[in-house]
C-alpha cells in the first residue's frame, strides 16, 4: 500500500491509498473553495448521562445530487469534484460538513456552563472513505484485494485518529441505501473520531465488567463460544472469523462478525486474520444483497449499516485492546420485500426493540442465500 497525503483547496486533508507503490498523486484541487465554517458543540444530557452533538451547519450539506454531479467521483472531463485525481483506488478526506472537527473553538476537555447545562467544543474529526472510483459499484462488488486496501485504510486511520489529543474512540462505518438516510449514492463510508466514549460502547464495557466480576471471564469470548457451540445462528464459520445472528438480535436481519481470537482493534489483527476478513465480509454482504432479490435482477440492493466496534483509545495504546472485542455489526432495516422496520414508539421512545424475524429464521435464510 502507498499512502499519499495532500490538501484540498479549502485546506482539508485528502489521503490516497494506492495498491501500486509507483502511483504518483500530484493533481491539484483547482476549485475556488473558501475555508469551511463549522458550529459544532457537544451538550450533556444529564438524564441519560451521555453527550449529544449539535451541528447545525450540516443543514446545508449536499443532498442527492445527480450521478453526473457526484462529489465523490474522480475529477475528469472538465468536472471538478472532491477528489482531484482522474481515478483512484481508495480515498479518505475530511468531511466538508463535519459533525466534529479539530478546528472547534476551545480545548477538547473544556466544559462550560453549570448543570444541567454542560457543554463542550465539538472537537474530533469526521472523514469520508471512498471505497472505489466506480460510482455504480458497491462494497459487495469489490475484489478481496480491494477490500484489503480498504481495511488497510481503516487501520491506518484508526492509528492516526487515536493519536489526536482528546480523541477517545474511533468508529469506522458504512451506511448504504436511501432508506438508511444516505444522501450520496457513490460507494463510501465514514470514520468518526469522538472526544468521548460512545453510549453504546459504555454499555458494552459495563456489561463486560459485570460479567468479569461474576465469572472471571471475558463476555465477548463467552458469547462467541456459545454461538459456535450451538450453531443454529452461525452463518459463516471460518478459520479466523465467525459470522452469526445474535441470540437477541434487534434487527430483522443482523449479523455480528467476530475474529475467533479476541483483539481490541484493527491494529491487532495478524496477516491471516486480515486476509480472511476480506473474503468473509464480502460473502456476508453478497448474502445480504440476495435476501430480497426476488426477480434475480440484482437491482434490489439491501440497505444496511455496517458498524465496526473497536476498543476506546483509553483502553491503552492502539492494538493493545482491553475487555471489548473488535467486531463488525451488519444489519438492515428491511424486514421483508417492500417493508421496512421502523423505529416506532417502543424502540424510539423506550429503547425496547421488537424484532419481527426470529434470529434462528434470519440465520437460516442467510445460510440459504449463499452467493
Are 307 and 324 in the same domain?
A: yes
Are 283 and 347 in the same domain?
A: yes
Residue 317 has pLDDT above 80, yes or no: no
> Is residue 35 very low, low, confident or very high in pLDDT (cuts 50, 70, 90)?
confident
Residue 72 has pLDDT above 60, yes or no: yes
Residue 302: predicted pLDDT: 93
Are 193 and 205 in the same domain?
A: no
Are 174 and 213 in the same domain?
A: no
Q: For 190-221, write each residue's pLDDT tens digit.
A: 999 999 999 999 999 999 999 999 999 999 99
Helical pair 271-290 and 144-162, crossing angle rounded to 10 deg = 120
Residue 359 has pLDDT above 60, yes or no: yes
Pairing of strands 169-176, 119-121: unpaired
Residue 94 has pLDDT above 90, yes or no: yes
Helix (H) or strand (E) holding 51, with range, is strand 50-54
Q: For 103-129, write each residue's pLDDT tens digit.
A: 776 677 788 888 899 999 889 999 999
Residue 319 has pLDDT above 60, yes or no: no
Residue 304: predicted pLDDT: 96
Among 161, 180, 198, where does a domain finish?
Answer: 198
Residue 294: predicted pLDDT: 65
Residue 13 has pLDDT above 80, yes or no: yes
Range from 51-60, 83-92, 190-199 carrying the lowest mean pLDDT: 51-60
Are 123 and 256 in the same domain?
A: no
Q: Average pLDDT in the 211-233 region?
A: 97
Among 151, 178, 198, where does a domain finish?
Answer: 198
Neighbours of 215 (CB within 10 A): 10
Residue 320: predicted pLDDT: 57
Are 193 and 224 in the same domain?
A: no
pTM of the model: 0.94
Residue 95 has pLDDT above 70, yes or no: yes
Number of domains in the chain: 2
Distance CA 146, CA 246 (A): 28
Residue 4 has pLDDT above 80, yes or no: yes
- Judging by beta carbons within 10 Å of its beta carbon (0-12, 13-18, 19+), is residue 59 exposed, middle or buried? exposed
* CATH code: domain of residue 253: 3.30.428.10
Give the whole-number percent of the chain exceeding pLDDT 70. 94
Are 235 and 302 in the same domain?
A: yes
Residue 67 has pLDDT above 90, yes or no: no
Average pLDDT, the chain: 92
Are 111 and 136 in the same domain?
A: yes
Are 173 and 43 in the same domain?
A: yes
Residue 293: predicted pLDDT: 84
> Is residue 367 very low, low, confident or very high in pLDDT (cuts 50, 70, 90)?
very high
- What is the domain extent for residue 23? 2-198
Among 152, 171, 198, where does a domain finish?
Answer: 198
Residue 300: predicted pLDDT: 77
Q: For 235-294, write each residue's pLDDT tens digit.
A: 999 999 999 999 999 999 999 999 999 999 999 999 999 999 999 999 999 999 999 986
Residue 66 has pLDDT above 80, yes or no: no
> 3-state class of 272 per DSSP?
helix
Are 220 and 205 in the same domain?
A: yes
Are 265 and 355 in the same domain?
A: yes
Residue 62 has pLDDT above 80, yes or no: no
Residue 316 has pLDDT above 70, yes or no: no
- 64 φψ region: left (φ > 0), alpha (ψ -120 to 50), beta (else): left
Residue 298 has pLDDT above 90, yes or no: no
Closest CA to 245 of 351, 365, 341, 353: 365
- Looking at the annotation, which residues are catalytic? 188
Residue 237: predicted pLDDT: 98
Are 130 and 239 in the same domain?
A: no
Tell me phi and psi for residue 181, to 5 degrees: 115, 10
Amino acid at each position: 500500500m502507498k499512502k499519499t497525503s495532500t490538501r484540498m483547496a479549502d485546506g482539508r486533508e485528502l489521503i490516497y491509498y494506492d495498491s501500486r507503490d509507483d502511483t504518483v498523486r500530484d493533481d491539484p484541487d483547482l476549485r475556488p473553495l473558501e475555508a469551511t465554517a463549522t458550529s459544532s458543540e457537544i451538550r450533556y444530557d444529564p438524564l441519560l448521562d451521555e453527550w449529544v452533538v449539535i451541528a447545525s451547519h450540516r443543514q446545508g450539506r449536499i443532498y442527492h445530487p445527480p450521478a453526473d454531479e457526484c462529489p465523490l467521483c474522480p475529477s475528469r472531463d472538465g468536472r471538478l469534484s472532491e477528489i482531484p485525481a482522474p481515478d483512484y483506488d481508495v480515498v479518505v478526506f475530511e468531511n466538508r460538513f463535519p459533525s466534529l472537527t479539530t478546528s472547534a473553538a476551545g480545548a477538547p476537555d473544556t466544559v462550560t456552563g453549570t448543570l444541567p447545562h454542560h457543554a463542550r467544543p465539538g472537537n474530533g474529526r469526521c472523514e469520508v472513505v471512498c471505497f472505489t472510483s466506480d460510482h455504480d459499484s458497491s462494497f459487495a462488488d469489490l475484489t478481496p484485494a480491494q477490500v484489503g486496501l480498504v481495511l488497510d485504510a481503516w487501520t491506518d486511520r484508526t492509528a492516526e485518529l487515536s493519536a489526536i489529543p482528546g480523541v477517545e474512540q474511533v468508529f469506522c462505518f458504512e451506511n448504504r441505501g436511501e432508506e438508511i438516510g444516505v444522501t450520496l449514492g457513490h460507494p463510501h463510508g465514514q470514520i468518526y473520531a469522538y472526544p468521548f466514549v460512545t453510549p453504546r460502547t459504555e454499555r458494552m464495557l459495563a456489561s463486560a465488567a459485570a460479567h468479569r466480576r461474576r465469572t472471571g471471564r471475558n463476555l465477548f469470548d463467552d458469547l462467541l463460544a456459545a454461538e459456535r457451540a450451538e450453531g443454529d445462528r452461525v452463518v459463516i464459520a471460518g478459520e479466523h472469523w465467525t459470522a452469526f445472528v445474535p441470540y437477541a438480535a434487534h434487527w430483522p436481519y443482523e449479523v455480528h462478525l467476530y475474529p475467533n481470537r479476541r483483539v481490541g482493534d484493527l491494529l491487532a489483527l495478524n496477516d491471516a486474520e486480515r486476509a480472511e476478513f476480506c473474503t468473509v465480509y464480502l460473502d456476508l454482504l453478497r448474502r445480504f444483497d440476495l435476501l430480497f432479490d426476488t426477480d434475480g435482477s440484482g437491482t434490489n440492493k439491501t440497505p444496511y449499516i455496517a458498524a465496526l466496534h473497536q476498543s476506546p483509545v483509553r483502553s491503552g495504546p492502539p492494538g493493545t485492546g482491553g475487555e471489548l472485542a473488535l467486531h463488525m455489526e451488519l444489519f438492515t432495516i428491511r424486514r421483508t420485500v417492500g417493508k421496512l422496520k421502523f423505529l416506532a414508539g417502543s424502540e424510539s421512545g423506550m429503547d425496547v426493540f421488537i424484532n419481527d424475524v426470529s434470529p434462528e429464521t434470519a440465520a437460516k435464510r442467510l445460510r440459504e442465500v449463499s452467493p
